[in-house]
A and B are shown apart, each in its own frame.
Chain A
Amino acid sequence: MATTAISTKKKTVRMNGCVASAQAAKYADVDVITAYPIRPYTATMMALAQMVANGELDAEYIVADSEHSQLSIAHGASSSGARVFTGSSGVGVQFAYELYSPISGSRMPVQMMIADRTLDPPGDFGSEHTDALSTRDMGWLMGWACDAQEAFDNHLMAYRIGEDPRVLLPQMVCQDGFFVSHITTDVELPDPGQVKEFLPPYKHPYPLDPRHPVSHGPQIMPEQGPPLQLERARAMEGSMTVIEQVHDEFAQIFGRKYDPWVEEFMTDGAEVVFFMQGGHAVTARFAIQHLRDEGVKVGLVRLRTIRPYPTDRVNKVLSKFKVVGVIETNMGLGSVSSGGSLYAEACAALYESPQHPLVISFMAGMGGEAIVLKEFYWMTKKMMEAQKRGKIEKRTHWVGFEE
């Protein structure tokens, strides 16, 4: 479907992450939007509703009766060949859980915006990454933005990657609730011509069409299962090349260059580093600058894409350092570290490295609490103590609960 004239050229506008996501969907000229309100994602669906009502965006806007229906409709719409945009937060992400595997299994490049919200308990509005992270093995491409501009850019890149015929996978484009979704920063909106060049209209190879009947997702026999699963695994693995190509092309067209896998901040000469994803990296950068002024050799490695997991890259980057402090912002109850789930994957990625840094898991930002500068200083102190000792004190520290 054609969008009725985005007449604007490139411009910089102040907006929060939720509005940036809605803008990205508009620039991507989506065909179908399925929505169901839950904070903080609600602000995105409200912005999109306004765009549709104002005639800025020509799309079917369907308000479902639950997140489960929301994702079911998204699945159907994508099967018919539409470019689909949906989204949710917290328990809403969980309520739609049944649909994640069928959507990736039928290779439908549905895009879902996630503005994280802590699961119940504590039922507050804050951001923990557990909602989306709990779906990380369902065959969706997944990564976190740390500000509104990056969220905007990630949406465009994710469509391009997911719709590539070599990939055909759904995408979760994640941002922290509040810390990104409701904090306002300058966002450069591109010229629509640039987006047209970068993101051509979506063409599914086998859409549902009565004139050319095909079957999607029929019940199959057990012996047909393994090849189907292998195909999906290969698609995920094969997406890594596409992801790198798309990031290069994005940089050429829009002038913003992202490393697709990790952002390294002040890692030159660093001995201890934070390893984290999402919006708290903004505060981490300030903390690191102050610590560097005092001569502390600390840096930041921010994971930008967690599915597919950049194992080799994480291995190569993290093995340069003496101590890695994983900031979790998610719950992995009873997991390897008894803390969050990022630790286990970081350790697994490092296993084949001859140079093992010490790895510590920090439970910070839990329940959606902000991680303030002094907590970053405290975590740095813990990492430096471990470096001096040559041994970690324990696998998991709960920040704010210890001396």
Chain B
Amino acid sequence: MSYTELTVWTRGIIMDKEGRDIVNSISASARLEGKFAQAMENYVDNPDRTNAPTRKYCRLSDNVLENELTYENEKPNIVVLVEGTMVKGWDYMRGMPPGGTLVINTHYTPEYMIRFVPGPERLAQLVCVDAAKLADHKWLYYRLGQLGLDRLSTEGAAERSKAIAPDIAAPLIAAVVKSTGIVKRETIEPMIANKKAFQMALDELHIMPLNPVAA
């Protein structure tokens, strides 16, 4: 695919870093693989909105990104829900072309979750991964310091920081990489802080094949 959009839905403030880590690391990996790539946060969603749905974006292309200044992904091929209950309530599938992938952080199976997805006929696959369990998710108690780091809306964190994806972003990145092949595992794995959760997720994610699109 010459042009791919990835949209991550997350919870404002408390899970912003998780969403940001996903788009930053995938964008940085794509650039290492010689693609043109960009990661950014939804500029309007961004500030002061604890728990509210916020979006992080990534774009990859074989060609220079002429829509670099466009502030939203219009046609996401891949959508990630960083928190499972986000599956209900609004249309995160909006604009998805046929053949898409939806990745959800949940302990439920895809067979159970599919009933909540609006417009599932556009999906080639539904991927569920219990990211919170795999990442031993306890940051509220002892990782506040890391949450405080990298608060800026900046791409480039993957190049700067060794602490990218210390938490539930790691299994979610693994799920995206394994189910879509958007970047190579070898490229992205060195950036991931929580390697154990990343590796466990590669084996423990549930992929439900749906409607493939003829290439």
Q: Are A16 and B69 in contact (CB under 8 A)?
A: no
Evaluate contact between B69 and A179: CB separation under 8 angstroms: yes
Cα distance A388–B22 in the bound complex, in angstroms: 51
Contact B43 A184 (CB under 8 A): no
Whether B40 lies near A124 (C-beta < 8 A) is no
Partner of B39, one of A19, A40, A184, A283: A184
**Is residue A43 within 8 Å, beta carbon to beta carbon, of the partner chain?**
yes
Contact at B153–A182, with CB atoms within 8 Å? yes
For residues 274 through 320 of chain A, which have their beta carbon under 8 Å from a beta carbon of chain B?
A: 279-280, 282-283, 286
- Interface-facing stretch out of B93-101, B154-162, B163-171: B154-162
- Does chain B have a CB within 8 A of A46? yes
Give the secondary structure class of B's interface: loop
Beta-carbon contact of B67 and A39 below 8 Å: no
Q: Give Cα A11–Cα B66 distance, bound, in whole angstroms.
A: 26
Tell me, yes or no, whether B54 is within 8 Å of chain A by CB. Answer: no
Q: CB < 8 Å: which of A18, A43, A370 contacts B69?
A: A370
Let me know if B44 is at the binding interface, CB within 8 A. yes
Q: Contacts A18-B152, A43-B153, A46-B152; is A372 near B43 (CB within 8 Å)?
A: no
User: A47 within 8 Å of B by Cβ?
Assistant: yes
CB distance from A49 to the nearest CB of B (A): 11
Q: Is the CB of B67 within 8 A of A184?
A: no
Residues of A within 8 A of B71 (CB): 178, 370
**CA of A97 to CA of B47 in the docked complex: distance in angstroms?**
25
Interface positions, chain A 23-47, Cβ under 8 Å from B, are 39-40, 43, 46-47
Does A6 touch B at the CB level, under 8 Å? Answer: no
Chain A, interface size category, equals 20 to 34
Bound: A198/B152 CA distance, A: 30
Determine whether the beta carbon of B69 is less than 8 Å from that of A183: yes
User: By the criterion CB–CB under 8 Å, are A19 and B152 in contact?
Assistant: yes
Question: Do A182 and B43 touch (CB < 8 A)?
Answer: yes
Contact A183 B68, beta carbon cutoff 8 Å: yes
* B-facing residues in A1-30 (Cβ within 8 Å): 13-16, 18-19
Task: Kindly report which residue of chain A lies nearest to residue B160, judged by CB atoms.
Answer: A13
Contact A15 B69 (CB under 8 A): no
- Contact between A15 and B154, CB atoms less than 8 A apart: yes
Would you call B156 and A183 a contact (CB within 8 A)? no
The 10 closest A-B pairs by CB, nearest first: A14-B156, A184-B155, A286-B66, A178-B43, A179-B69, A370-B70, A43-B152, A16-B154, A182-B153, A370-B69
Contact surface of A with B, Cβ cutoff 8 Å? 13-16, 18-19, 39-40, 43, 46-47, 124-126, 178-179, 182-184, 279-280, 282-283, 286, 370-373
Q: A47-B152, A125-B43, A178-B43 are in contact. List 4 more A-B contacts (CB 8 A).
A: A13-B160, A19-B154, A46-B152, A283-B69
15 A-B contacts, Cβ less than 8 Å apart?
Answer: A14-B154, A14-B156, A40-B43, A47-B152, A124-B44, A179-B69, A182-B153, A183-B38, A183-B68, A279-B69, A282-B69, A283-B68, A370-B70, A370-B71, A373-B67
